[in-house]
Amino acid sequence: MTFTALQILWYFLIFLLIGGYFVLDGFDLGVGVLSPFLAKNEEEQDLLGRSIGPVWDGNEVWLLTAGGALFAAFAPAYATTFSGFYLAVMLVLFGLILRAVALEYAHYDHKWRKLWNACFFIGSLLPALLLGVAVGNIYAGIPMDAAGNYSGVPLLGLITPFTLLCGVLGLVMMCAAGAAWVALKAPADSDLRKRAAKMRFILQVVAVVVFLLVSAYAILGIKPAMDPALGAVRWLCAALFAFSMVAAIVLGNNDERDLAAFICQSVAAFVLVALLATSMFPNFVVATPESIGATIDIASAAAGDVTLIWMTGIACIGVPLVLIYHVFVYRTFRGRLEFE
């Protein structure tokens, strides 16, 4: 089976967008999940909110862009995933909306501050966990009918030991990134920074262990059919992931290397998505053996070359603008915060 260069380009571009989301929105979701365990008073809770306040909404652009690109470039894959995972997708969107509302109201509505803090935690936890479960499903395979639609049990049918383990891996990676971000933004000599640094180390170690469990389960239990031509790239991605995580752990032991530790943690998150992309290529959604429908891959889902050419031109303009925006925002709000 052969694929055009444009089809291959957009396959990896979509995973690039997913990787951008996992890195950027991953750490602020992690901050939300860790907030009840890191913040010991309202002052610290307020600092957690202020640490992600200028960036969280821009970070979510990557998820919207990835979904839009998937719809335009590979519509059948979009239709299967978003319709089959409908309840899960709605829970993710509910969580993202709840998190946004909680962030705004917690700052002004002091009477119901505890309620909004709880909503901040729940709104961060749902996307952080369910997105990993969804990825585990498209990798391991889902039952599909002749039309290519998901034919299993809604929501509960998506939860298996492997997919739940994938969800835990995504959750732990986001929490590790969140702890690394708080350690970077909190006052250097504060107890909050010390708690975040300690939690960062624990979560990074747990992430490596869960990654090994997911990898072993995938190789021995799922036994996916992977493109042999990308074997060396997969090993390189796995090695880079291990190196980045070890570097993040080692650098985190130095109180003055919080930025380097956060960057290494971010690189590990991005490489993890790259490993997923090379492991799944050329498939978008794998069909289980008992499925009537076939696996959805690049060839069966790709739009026409004219569409992909126009999308490439738009991406060449839009992606650099988004990157410039992120550079500007992160430079503007760089540095540690102080308690108010």
C-alpha triplet 113, 44, 98: angle, nearest 5°: 45
Q: Does residue 326 form part of some domain? A: yes
Confidence of residue 227 (pLDDT cuts 50, 70, 90): confident
Mean pLDDT for 238-242 is 96
Would you list the DSSP string of 159-196? Answer: --HHHHHHHHHHHHHHHHHHHHHHHHHS-TTSHHHHHH
Q: Does residue 338 form part of some domain? A: no
Confidence of residue 246 (pLDDT cuts 50, 70, 90): very high
Find the domain containing 129 and state its range.
5-332
Q: Does residue 340 form part of some domain? A: no
Confidence of residue 256 (pLDDT cuts 50, 70, 90): confident
Return the pLDDT at 1.
61
Question: Does pLDDT of 102 surpass 80?
Answer: yes
Amino acid sitting at position 208? V
Q: Does residue 41 form part of some domain? A: yes
Mean pLDDT for 36-42 is 93
Quick: pLDDT tens for 287-319: 888 888 888 999 889 999 999 999 999 999 999
Q: Does residue 264 form part of some domain? A: yes
Q: What secondary structure letter does DSSP report for 144?
A: B
Q: Does residue 337 form part of some domain? A: no
To the nearest 10 degrees (0 to 180), the angle between helices 61-73 and 75-84 is 120
Choose the weakest-confidence range: 91-100, 102-111, 196-205, 253-262: 102-111
Question: Does pLDDT of 190 surpass 90?
Answer: yes
Q: Does residue 178 form part of some domain? A: yes
Instruction: Write out the two tokens for 292.
Output: 């009537």
The Cα diameter of the chain in Å comes to 62
Question: Does pLDDT of 108 surpass 90?
Answer: no
- Cα distance between residue 108 and residue 120, in whole Å: 14
Mean pLDDT for 123-148 is 91
Return the pLDDT at 52.
94
pTM value > 0.85:
yes
Query: Cis link prior to 282 (omega < 30° from 0)?
Result: yes
Question: Per the structure, how many domains does the chain have?
Answer: 1
Q: What secondary structure letter does DSSP report for 219?
A: I
Quick: pLDDT tens for 136-153: 999 999 888 888 888 877
Mean pLDDT for 203-222 is 95
Question: Does pLDDT of 340 surpass 80?
Answer: no
Most confident of 76-80, 154-158, 244-248: 244-248
Q: Does residue 339 form part of some domain? A: no
Q: Output 308-315 pairs: Cβ under 8 A, ≥24 positions apart.
A: 308/6, 308/7, 308/9, 308/10, 308/73, 309/6, 311/10, 311/69, 311/72, 311/73, 312/6, 312/9, 312/10, 315/13, 315/69
Across all residues in the chain, what is the average pLDDT?
92
Question: Does pLDDT of 197 surpass 70?
Answer: yes
Question: Does pLDDT of 211 surpass 80?
Answer: yes
Mean pLDDT for 32-59 is 93
Question: Does pLDDT of 198 surpass 70?
Answer: yes
306 burial via Cβ count (<10 Å: 0-12, 13-18, 19+): exposed
